[in-house]
Amino acid sequence: MTTFSPESKVGDIAVEQPSATRSFYRFGIDFCCGGGKSLQSVCDKKGIDVKDLLQDIKNQGEGIVEGPNDWKTSSLSAIISHIIISYHEPLRTELPRLKGMLDKVQKVHGHADPERFEQLQTVYTSLIDELSDHMMKEERILFPMIMQGNGANASATVALMEMEHDDVGEALREISRLTDAYVAPDYACNTWRALWSGLEDLEKTMHQHVHLENNILFPRALLTSN
């Protein structure tokens, strides 16, 4: 098992030891878009004792044999197929499914907190548009370039995708805020509860998805040329 230090980068730890992402969730640390920061700097910002976090990361890794998917050595085309099958395709069903639930809950219970639901609709609707457009660009432009071994010429597109990931991360943080970190009020109906939990899953899955792209696929792809 790798030993990490306060200087280790959050994204590198998530790549080396995927079980560490459980610690990052627990401590509220962004390991996908904020992956380039050191543990010490994120701890300083959040008022966390870096020793506690390092211990928690160590505990998570204890007795676990990481894998079998070691993305550091998988082919780039295998990583891309995995991204499309495990993240892009499910999002194309999940995003409209949650929108349908949001519409329903707003219609029936929106009067309980109209402003919150209106803001949620605004943020969520633009998230659907942004993500649909973003995935299309990855699948039609960036991924084909990488598959052709032309990743070294894709730095501008990669930079754009990373910026869009930051925007998606911001929208998800806003959704988390608007849902009180996905805690439904006591009087919420089952659909409302299922909606909050679906939005929570969406955020977690997006973190894994963006981590795979930002910290594993893109850095390796940028080094490849024909």
Q: Which residues make up the interface to Fe ion (CB under 5 A)?
A: 138, 213
9 phi/psi in degrees, rounded to 5: -85, 140
Cβ proximity to Fe ion, 9 vs 165, nearer residue: 165
Cβ proximity to Fe ion, 84 vs 184, nearer residue: 84
Cβ proximity to Fe ion, 12 vs 138, nearer residue: 138
User: Min. distance of Cβ 142 from Fe ion in angstroms?
Assistant: 8
User: Min. distance of Cβ 139 from Fe ion in angstroms?
Assistant: 8
Phi-psi label, residue 149: left if phi above 0, alpha if psi -120 to 50, beta otherwise? left
SS3 helix, strand, coil % of the chain, rounded to 5? 75, 0, 25
Cβ proximity to Fe ion, 30 vs 138, nearer residue: 138
User: Min. distance of Cβ 83 from Fe ion in angstroms?
Assistant: 5
User: Min. distance of Cβ 209 from Fe ion in angstroms?
Assistant: 6
Count CB neighbours of 22 within 10 A.
14
Q: Which residue is at the shortest CB distance from Fe ion? A: 213
Long-range pairs for 182-189 at CB < 8 Å and ≥24 separation? 185/112, 187/112, 188/109, 189/105, 189/108, 189/109
Packing angle, helices 155-178 and 190-211, rounded to 10: 150
Cβ proximity to Fe ion, 16 vs 167, nearer residue: 167
DSSP 141-176: IIHHHHHTT-GGG-HHHHHHHHHHHHHHHHHHHHHH
146 HSE (CA, 13 A, CB side): 26
User: Min. distance of Cβ 174 from Fe ion in angstroms?
Assistant: 18
User: Min. distance of Cβ 166 from Fe ion in angstroms?
Assistant: 11
- Rounded CA separation 218/146 (Å): 9
